[in-house]
């Protein structure tokens, strides 16, 4: 086992559990769809969270190229960041229940404080990861942009304004589309 494999296996496990959880929740809610009252903003966040986890997993590959050595503090920042992704994936959708209607709009606003606090934490820890692991400058696009978006997430945790929540939902979705379209990571297979 290479050092990269040793380091990233736990990270992959966290992200794998995140995706498993959200895919299972979507599947469970689909099975009882006649009792689920859909809400477009919640659905948009489900897609955004899935993209976030997949893009993060893809980004781990760069650590195999750029890292000659690791320090525990760097690994800790990475694990904290990935753990936050797991936590907000568990909040984005409610558990399927045996009876009664499930209103996704009510769920969204009932978990918004915790959800957006964890999203903000994830964005702020990504600044530490980008700086300490990827060597990004402390004042640069990969540290400033997550900080700005993290502040907007704090705003979402603090406000119940439907307009603000719609705007940040669309904003975050577009940001993740842009992140994915501008990612230039290439994985080369060596035979």
Q: Where are the domains of the chain?
A: 3-182
Mean pLDDT of 8-37: 95
DSSP 99: S
Mean pLDDT of 147-164: 96
Q: Are 88 and 49 in contact (CB under 8 A)?
A: yes
**d(Cα 173, Cα 145) in Å, to the nearest integer?**
14
Of all residues in the chain, the percent with pLDDT exceeding 70 is: 98
Question: In this model, does residue 173 exceed pLDDT 80?
Answer: yes
pLDDT in tens, 8-22: 899 999 999 999 999
Q: What torsion, rounded to 10 degrees, do the Cα atoms 51, 56, 60, 61 define?
A: 20
Q: How confident is the model at residue 131 (pLDDT cuts 50, 70, 90)?
A: confident
Lowest mean pLDDT among 96-100, 134-138, 154-158, 177-181: 134-138
């Amino acid at each position: 086992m290479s050092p990269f494999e040793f380091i990233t296996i736990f990270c992959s496990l966290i992200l794998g559990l995140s995706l498993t959880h959200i895919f299972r929740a979507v599947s469970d809610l689909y099975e009882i769809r006649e009792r689920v009252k859909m809400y477009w903003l919640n659905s948009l966040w489900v897609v955004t969270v899935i993209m976030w986890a997949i893009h993060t997993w893809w980004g781990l590959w760069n650590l195999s190229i750029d890292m000659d050595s690791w320090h525990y503090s760097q690994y800790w920042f990475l694990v904290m960041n990935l753990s936050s992704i797991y936590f907000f994936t568990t909040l984005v959708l409610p558990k399927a229940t045996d009876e009664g209607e499930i209103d996704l709009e009510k769920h969204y606003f009932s978990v918004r404080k915790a959800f957006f606090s964890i999203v903000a934490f994830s964005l702020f820890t990504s600044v530490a990861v980008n700086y300490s692991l990827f060597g990004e400058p402390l004042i640069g696009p990969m540290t400033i942009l997550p900080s700005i978006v993290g502040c907007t997430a704090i705003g979402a945790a603090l406000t119940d304004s439907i307009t603000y929540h719609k705007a940040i939902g669309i904003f975050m979705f577009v940001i993740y589309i842009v992140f994915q379209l501008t990612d230039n990571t290439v994985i080369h297979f060596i035979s």
